[in-house]
């Protein structure tokens, strides 16, 4: 039993560490490709955390939709934009932005410390109630989070939102085409960076790296 708990904590800490490193890489890397790789790392570790929370179906969906579609879409756009996807670093207004982000992180630290206190309180209360015999941990049905139980609930209780989400995805696809399409009909060669722009931009990128 204790080895089970130990293994669970090891798995959780590994996944959490990878998720945090991935998120940090995403928000701090100058090269967007590296950022997308960090995002992929975070998405994979969150899929692992879903597995430990009895959400197998969602872990699969996370891999298919996030890792398989969203990250690939990001990479596709980054490579379409070429070297100009990496904006040259500019120190203008860096200080106010840093203050804003720092205050936001401070708020986050406050929330996390409140959660830690709440967790201590909860563990104390559950230990007291378990000792009194009035509390026992929630039992997990064997099919909880599996595709059977999930699908049954999806197509009964949340059928209307499911159909509405299909409409939303259709509208999003049409909207994306309408927004990204060039106004001049054949904007393909204008949209892609020309060879001259590429050769002009490459030394700049090397210099910044």
Q: Considering only residues 111 through 170, tell me which ones interact with other proteins, judged by CB under 8 A.
A: 111-112, 115-116, 118-119, 122-123, 137-141, 144-145, 149-150, 153-154, 157-158, 161, 165, 168-169
Least distance to other proteins, CB of residue 185, Å: 14
How big is the site for other proteins, counted in residues (CB under 8 A)? 91
* 37 makes contact with other proteins (CB under 8 A): no
80 within 8 A of 196, measured Cβ to Cβ: no
Least distance to other proteins, CB of residue 133, Å: 19
How far is 58 from 35, CA to CA, in rounded Å?
24
Backbone angles phi, psi at 181, to 5 degrees: -70, 140
- Structure tokens that stand for 45 in this block: 């570790």
Sign of CA dihedral 65, 66, 71, 74: positive
Instruction: Considering the complex, state which of residue 133 and residue 141 has its C-beta at the smaller distance from other proteins.
Output: 141
- Structure tokens that stand for 146 in this block: 């599996």
How far is 41 from 49, CA to CA, in rounded Å?
13
Q: Is 35 exposed, middle or buried (0-12, 13-18, 19+ CB in 10 A)?
A: buried
Site mask, other proteins, residues 15-34, x = CB under 8 A?
Answer: -x--xx--xx-xxx---x--
32 within 8 A of 75, measured Cβ to Cβ: no
* 7 makes contact with other proteins (CB under 8 A): no
Site mask, other proteins, residues 50-89, x = CB under 8 A?
Answer: x-xxxx-xx--xx--xx--xx--xx--xx-xx--xxxx--
Interface residues for other proteins in 170-209 (CB under 8 A)? 171-173, 175-177, 179-180, 182, 187, 190-191
- Structure tokens that stand for 173 in this block: 């696809």
Q: What DSSP designation does 85 have?
A: G
* 41 makes contact with other proteins (CB under 8 A): no
Instruction: Considering the complex, state which of residue 169 and residue 203 has its C-beta at the smaller distance from other proteins.
Output: 169
Least distance to other proteins, CB of residue 58, Å: 6
Exactly one of 101, 127, 129, 147 binds other proteins (CB under 8 A); that residue is: 101
């Amino acid at each position: 039993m204790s080895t089970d708990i130990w293994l669970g904590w090891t798995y959780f800490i590994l996944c959490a560490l990878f998720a945090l490193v991935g998120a940090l890489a995403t928000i701090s890397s100058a090269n967007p490709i590296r950022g997308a790789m960090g995002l992929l790392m975070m998405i994979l570790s969150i899929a692992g955390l879903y597995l430990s929370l009895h959400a197998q179906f969602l872990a699969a969906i996370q891999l298919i939709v996030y890792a398989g579609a969203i990250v690939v879409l990001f990479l596709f756009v980054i490579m379409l934009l070429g070297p100009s996807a990496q904006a040259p670093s500019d120190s203008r207004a860096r200080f106010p932005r840093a203050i804003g982000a720092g205050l936001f992180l401070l708020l986050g630290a406050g929330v996390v410390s409140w959660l830690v206190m709440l967790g201590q309180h909860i563990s104390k209360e559950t230990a007291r109630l378990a000792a009194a015999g009035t509390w026992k941990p929630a039992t997990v049905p064997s099919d909880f989070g599996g595709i059977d139980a999930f699908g049954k609930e999806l197509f009964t209780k949340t059928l209307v939102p499911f159909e509405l989400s299909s409409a939303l995805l259709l509208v999003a696809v049409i909207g994306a085409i309408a927004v990204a399409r060039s106004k001049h009909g054949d904007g393909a060669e204008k949209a892609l960076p020309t060879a001259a722009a590429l050769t002009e931009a490459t030394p700049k990128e090397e210099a910044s790296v």
